[in-house]
Structure 1
């Protein structure tokens, strides 16, 4: 977990992907990393990111299709497991000013806000 607050604009490229050992990893392969959020907003809060930098959902191109396809497969699996174990799940991505980290990422969460 982060001991010093991160102040850059791409936590995933700068911190998470280079050092997954510092995270509570849920899933990792050569394309995607999924981990428990370092500052969770909900009781259950997992973030799924492509390891290759893609700025946002709205910047995805046809060249990104294999990566985004894999990302969505992992999101589906994690969302299904979250729903199975907690009874519900939500899937969320942020855009523009709502996107603190300028790297495509998807949140899977359930439970009350913290």
Structure 2
């Protein structure tokens, strides 16, 4: 399979890693949209949120519990936005589920 995030997880492609454990990686976005912008990506290949099922409950919970501590470690103090793009109309450009964490400035709504 030719997946960008699987290649990053296997260290075939370098990243600006900020966290790694046996289940996930977190690294800086290469095109940041905020002063702090990183991705949290499971090492297990799941194409999108549409493919998440009961077998992934622990993994998704782990990611959601991890995000606040990573946001704090990265210096985000006044809140942050977590984004998951699902499918082409939802703006998903990499076919591997991932969560953008953006902070360090006020997030406007609606997003551009």
* TM-score (norm: length of structure 2): 0.78
Q: Residue in 2 aligned with 1:29?
A: 21
Determine if the alignment matches structure 1 residue 65 to structure 2 residue 57.
Answer: yes
Question: Matched residue pairs, number?
Answer: 104
Give the Cα separation in 2 of the matches to 1:83 and 1:27: 11
Q: Secondary structure at the match of 2:61?
A: helix
Between structures 1 and 2, the one with greater helix share: 1
Query: Does the 8 Å CA contact 2:36/2:76 hold for their aligned counterparts?
Result: no
Go from structure 1 to structure 2 and tell me whether the alpha carbon gap of 1:36 and 1:64 turns closer, same or farther (over 3 Å shift): same
Go from structure 1 to structure 2 and tell me whether the alpha carbon gap of 1:73 and 1:21 turns closer, same or farther (over 3 Å shift): farther
Give the Cα separation in 1 of the matches to 2:46 and 2:75: 30
2:69 alignment partner, one of 51, 68, 77: 77
Query: Does the 8 Å CA contact 1:55/1:102 hold for their aligned counterparts?
Result: yes
Q: Residue in 2 aligned with 1:11?
A: 4
* TM-score (norm: length of structure 1): 0.77
Any unmatched runs of 5+ in structure 2? 108-112
Shift of 1:86: 4.4
Q: Residue in 1 aligned with 2:80?
A: 89
Q: Residue in 1 aligned with 2:38?
A: 46
Any unmatched runs of 5+ in structure 1? 1-7
Q: Residue in 2 aligned with 1:55?
A: 47
